[in-house]
Amino acid sequence: MNKCIYLLFYKTSLKPYQPRCLNFLRACSQIVDTLRRYSDKPAIILGIETSCDDTGCGIVDITGKILGEAIHSQHAIHRIHGGIIPTLASQFHRENITTVCENALKSANLRLRDIDAIATTTKPGLPNSLNIGNTFGKYLSRIGNKPYIPIHHMEAHALTVRMIQKVDFPYLVLLLSGGHSLLAIVDSVDKFYTLGTTTDNAVGEILDKIARRLKLVNIPEFLHMSGGQAIESAACRATDPKKFEFPSIITRKRDCQFSFAGVWTKSIKYIASQEKEFEIDTNKLIPDAYNLCASLQWAIAKHICLRLQRAMEFIDKMNLIPHEKRTLVISGGVACNDFFAKAFEIVCSEKGFQLVRTPHRLCNDNGVMIAWNGAERWIANVGVIRDRNKIEAVTIENKVPLGENWIEKVRAANIKCKVVKLKALMTC
């Protein structure tokens, strides 16, 4: 319909009245969109994700059905450089975003006119990468005359599971990725309370760095894996998973803050020591590489579980979530690690929480999770921008917290935990 109206506009002798006619045509288009919103057909949201190094586009309807998706991964490119290069990331976003979105629409057998709103990651992330997505998202919104929904990347990770199964608000979420490590209460689509975050490096970043330092990429089996995946797989080959000792991490601080810099430093010392002792060649692994991976996972699991346990006891003490609804959702790339998930399951069982894992394929950055966050906001009518001037004014934020900061509230509660034992946890 929009196409017919614009053809009428440009093919007839209405040019002298263009400004007035254009306003009329926009009003007609808005009426059409309004009628579609109140029709029986579920609204369809297109989501764009460019917060880091993956260009993703997903299309979902408000019932949670995935209609189409496409992604361009830069993993292989950045692996060569030993980490993400922001300038390269934005360059490849710019080169691929049009094709990715076209492919998503093709896979859904849809055109832009069939979409009800455009959702785009605008925070947090790499500034130039976010700008590419925001600029392109606003462009689609403008040419299609569609509402625009700015999305918080971590909110999208926290809500993705609700697309797959029924998880009622409020619930506890543990987000673990290459850029974030945090615990938060999800109270609604737009209300989040952060209980703890990392004081230094994110857990995924540490796993990637240690995997590179161990030179796991030189093992053909691990060549196409992320650092975290390689460490998990290598740990399964360990003969003595507790051979290396790691000191307890900030156990005296009664909060839910994470710190992973210490395990990085200790791991580097162990690697350097064995390289010197066994005169290891530049491209070879140390003899105890697999045992170190297993010991590392143990240390990280214990640290996260203690913080997780305190968050659960804080929720219990403050009566924040009804007992019958107590759920822990885990998401983010590191949430794909089965060893960590088993550890979290032990804590959940002990503390009376149900563990719900976001499906592996939706844990890593993708356009579907952005589209679904847009769908949640569409349903709740929260953060959906329809005014063209307000849409054009949307900007990106590279650093922004998740919701309200409750870290000091947790500290003030002064909760001493009787640590849940992880003895039943197996290496694989």
Q: Which residue has the higher pLDDT, 402 or 251?
A: 402
Which ranges in 322-406 belong to alpha helices (H)? 338-351, 360-363, 367-380, 388-392
pTM equals 0.88
Asked if the domains 42-164+364-393 and 171-357+404-425 are classified in one and the same CATH topology, the answer is: yes
- Specify the pLDDT at position 49: 98
Choose among 108, 103, 293, 113: nearest CA to 216: 293
What are the domain boundaries of the chain? 42-164+364-393, 171-357+404-425
Which ranges in 17-160 belong to alpha helices (H)? 18-37, 75-80, 86-108, 127-144, 153-159
β-strand 181-188 against 117-123: which pairing, if any? unpaired
**Long-range CB contacts (within 8 A, 24+) of 2-8:** 2/29, 2/32, 2/113, 2/144, 2/145, 3/113, 5/29
β-strand 54-61 against 44-49: which pairing, if any? antiparallel
**Architecture per CATH, 171-357+404-425:** 2-Layer Sandwich (3.30)
What's the CA gap between 23 and 421, in Å, rounded? Answer: 66
User: CA angle 46-47-51, nearest 5°?
Assistant: 160
pLDDT tens column, 160-203: 999 999 999 999 999 999 889 999 999 999 999 999 999 999 99
Pick the CATH number of 42-164+364-393 from 3.40.47.10, 3.40.1160.10, 3.40.1050.10, 3.30.420.40: 3.30.420.40
Least confident range from 34-38, 49-53, 115-119, 305-309: namely: 34-38
pLDDT at 254 over 50: yes
- Specify the pLDDT at position 23: 58
Mean pLDDT computed over 368-391: 98
With 0-12 CB in 10 A as exposed, 13-18 as middle and 19+ as buried, what is 40? exposed
Residue with tokens 């909760």: 415
User: CA angle 360-365-366, nearest 5°?
Assistant: 90
pLDDT at 405 over 70: yes
pLDDT at 79 over 90: no
What's the CA gap between 254 and 416, in Å, rounded? Answer: 7
Mean pLDDT value across the chain: 90
pLDDT tens column, 89-117: 899 999 999 999 999 999 999 999 999 99
Mean pLDDT computed over 121-128: 96
For residue 149, CA distances in Å to 137, 277, 372, 376 come to 9, 57, 11, 11
Mean pLDDT computed over 295-299: 96
For residue 248, CA distances in Å to 266, 312, 340 come to 12, 20, 17
Least confident range from 59-63, 84-88, 231-235, 379-383: namely: 84-88
Contact 58, 367 (CB under 8 A): yes
Contact 282, 267 (CB under 8 A): no
- Specify the pLDDT at position 359: 95
Say how far residue 149 (Cα) sits from the centre of its chain: 17
Mean pLDDT computed over 195-216: 95
Cis (ω within 30 of 0) for the bond into 170? Answer: yes
Number of Cβ within a 10 Å radius of residue 16: 8
Q: Label residue 83 by pLDDT band (50, 70, 90).
A: low
- Specify the pLDDT at position 148: 98
What's the CA gap between 275 and 237, in Å, rounded? Answer: 20
Q: Label residue 154 by pLDDT band (50, 70, 90).
A: very high
H or E element at residue 56? strand 54-61
Choose among 199, 197, 195, 205: nearest CA to 170: 195
Mean pLDDT computed over 383-400: 97
- Specify the pLDDT at position 36: 56
pLDDT at 21 over 60: no
Q: Label residue 420 by pLDDT band (50, 70, 90).
A: confident
pLDDT at 395 over 80: yes
Q: Label residue 20 by pLDDT band (50, 70, 90).
A: low
Least confident range from 49-53, 86-90, 212-216, 232-236: namely: 86-90
